[in-house]
Amino acid sequence: MERKELKEKAVTSVLWVLLSEVLQRFLNIGVRVVLARILFPDQFGLIASATVVIGSIKTFSNLGIPYAMVQRKDRVEDTGSTALVLLSFIATFNYLLAFFLAPYTAFFFRDERVELILKVLALSIFFNSAAIVPDAFLGREFKYKIRFYLDVICNIVSGSISIGLALFLSEEYRVWALVGGAISYDLTNAILVWKYIPYKLRLFFDWQIARDLFNYGKYFIGLSIVMYLYSNIDKFTVGRILGITALGYYSFAYNFTYKIVGIGLTVFSGVPLVVYSKLQDDVLSLRKAYFRTLKYASLLSAPLLLGAFIIAPEFIEVVFGSKWLPAVVPFQVLCIFTWIRSIDTTTGELYAGTGRPKLNQTMGIINLCGVAVTIYPLAKALGTTGVALSVTIGRLITLYFNFSKCAEVIECKITELFRVVFLTTSASFVMVAGVYLLKITLLQGVSMLNLLAMILGGAVIFLSVLFFINKELFFELKELLQVRFKKTA
């Protein structure tokens, strides 16, 4: 693929992913608002306790296969067929494991309702595994337009089922609205994605290909173990020490920042991997590609997450109701965490695409150690807020070490990486200060009108400051939008 064509495909793909992420988050926030007003915190805690096990098991499901399939240059169809057979066996084993762990999970969280929820929710393991191979092929061929439509359909189906069950079921059983929504998303995706797979797969298994997949993915196995511990240590701590209701508040705050506010965290996922893998022998081009990814990830995440931080009390009370106010402070801390994470995780695709997946494992271990040392004392002293502080401290430590190693990979100074995100971050802090002044002077009191005024005021302040300090970025965004409309018209 020519360099110009690669750039064009990458830009178009990023824009499709961006559009998908934005639309999905609007759909998610609508469903969240409805469910949060109908359900109760302990019901969100129940689904979180089951999800923490299912999510952990799913991290072992793909063995880094999507990354290996993107990087592989020969026998692509045979690789896909072999991967599909391998994933089927893994999914069966993982479901049996979840079924076996269900009663012990219920015992750990001190709530017998968790057992049945976990056994039913574990069915999503099969559906999730069935979509891994076709999803990897779509990414390999830059078919992000198709992925956009699939994501929208899955979100609509899932949201409709969740809201329908929440309205239909009695108060005691409404937790199943969350279960039904989660399963229906994975099932719908597994059915639809196969229609658009660009290769013909068959019942085939090659031991050499399987070994190649395992050799490439062995670092992802180690990373999966680390991420299992890191991603769930906070939920386990909250659920065990503070209880199911506290877990409901914490998971509500965590999921909101991660899935709905943190657009910058996942918008570039998948697309840079293909680009980095094709540029890994050209350090100068690789550096430019990563700088661009880092800049736009920061541009998307900093104003959204820091803006959410400053309006959190008003936003949660107005939109979700006063019963969710205990989640405000953890939510604010997790906004900072997700902002740092959105910058930190941009290196993951870089390391994978340049054949250095072990670095992701190393950074995961550093992150885990930072959380493990601080989480228990902070949880005992500050409750859910202390847990949120712990994961934030761990991520901040990791960011420094991660940027140090990233600077070696793309052959630059670490200060250059921090400089890339400095301008957008500065504009965001000015925005936060401006919104705070509005809150304490002109917009006192909690109301929908004041909330909308804060959001609009924050947007105007951020865009004005950004235009003043970095006009070039506006022209780059204009160019991206022109390409976007040209390609999707």
Rounded Cα gap, residues 374 and 238, in angstroms: 14
Top-ranked range on mean pLDDT: pick from 144-153, 327-336, 399-408: 327-336
For CA atoms 300, 62, 387, 28, the dihedral sign is positive
Which tokens sit at 267?
């918008």
* 3-state SS assignment for residue 62: coil
> Higher model confidence: residue 350 or residue 486?
350
Q: Which of 59-68, 76-85, 409-418, 456-465 has the highest mean pLDDT?
A: 456-465
User: At CA 417, angle to CA 414 and CA 418, rounded to 5?
Assistant: 95
Query: 7, 13, 140: which is closest to 67 by C-alpha?
Result: 140
**Could you tell me the residue range of the domain that residue 315 belongs to?**
3-488
Token duo for residue 144:
């992000």
pLDDT mean over 279-292 = 72
Question: Which of 150-164, 241-255, 393-407, 418-432 comes out lowest in average pLDDT?
Answer: 418-432
pLDDT at 158: 94
CA–CA separation, 441 and 308 (whole Å): 19
Spatial CB neighbours of 346, under 8 Å, sequence gap ≥ 6: 268, 272, 290, 293, 294, 297
Mean pLDDT of 105-117: 93
User: Above pLDDT 90, what percent of the chain?
Assistant: 36
Contacts of 284 (CB under 8 A, 6+ apart): none
pLDDT of residue 392: 95
More confident: 234 or 287:
234
Q: Is 40 helix (H, G, I), strand (E, B) or coil?
A: coil
**DSSP assignment string, 364-423:** HHHHHHHHHHHHHHHHHHHTHHHHHHHHHHHHHHHHHHHHHHHHHHTT--HHHHHHHHHH
pLDDT digits (tens, 9 = 90+) for 360-370: 778 888 988 99
The amino acid present at 128, given as its one-letter code, is: N
Which of 70-84, 127-141, 184-198, 239-253 bottoms out in mean pLDDT, i.e. has the lowest? 70-84
Range scoring the smallest mean pLDDT among 13-17, 325-329, 333-337, 471-475: 13-17
Q: Which of 7-11, 386-390, 423-427 has the lowest mean pLDDT?
A: 7-11
Q: Which residue has the tokens 């066996």?
A: 89
Residue 273 has pLDDT above 90, yes or no: no
Q: What is the C-alpha to C-alpha distance for residues 441 and 397, in angstroms, rounded to an integer? A: 37
Domain count, the chain: 1
470-488 pLDDT, tens digit per residue, is 777 666 655 654 544 454 4
pLDDT given for residue 227 in this prediction: 72
Which residues are CB-neighbours of 85 under 8 A, at least 6 positions away? Answer: 203, 204, 205
Whole-number pLDDT of residue 62: 61
Q: Is 72 helix (H, G, I), strand (E, B) or coil?
A: coil
pLDDT of residue 487: 47
Asked if 344 and 395 count as a contact pair (C-beta separation under 8 A), the reply is yes
Q: How confident is the model at residue 204 (pLDDT cuts 50, 70, 90)?
A: confident
With b for 16 or more beta-carbon neighbours within 10 A and e for fewer, the 118-155 pattern comes to bbbbbbbbbbbbbbbbbbbbbbbbbbbbbbbebbeebb
Average pLDDT over residues 224-237: 81
pLDDT greater than 90 at residue 183: yes
pLDDT score of 276 more than 80: no
- Of the spans 71-85, 156-170, 274-288, 461-475, which averages the highest pLDDT? 156-170
Average pLDDT for the chain? 81
Residue scoring higher pLDDT (265 or 77): 77
Residue 356 in this model has a pLDDT that exceeds 70: yes
Q: Who wins on pLDDT, 43 or 231?
A: 43
SS in 3 state form for 254-289?
A: HHHHHHHHCHHHHCCCCHHHHHHHHHCCCHHHHHHH
| pLDDT value of residue 146 | 78
User: What is the rounded distance in angstroms from the CA atom of residue 409 to the CA atom of residue 355?
Assistant: 11
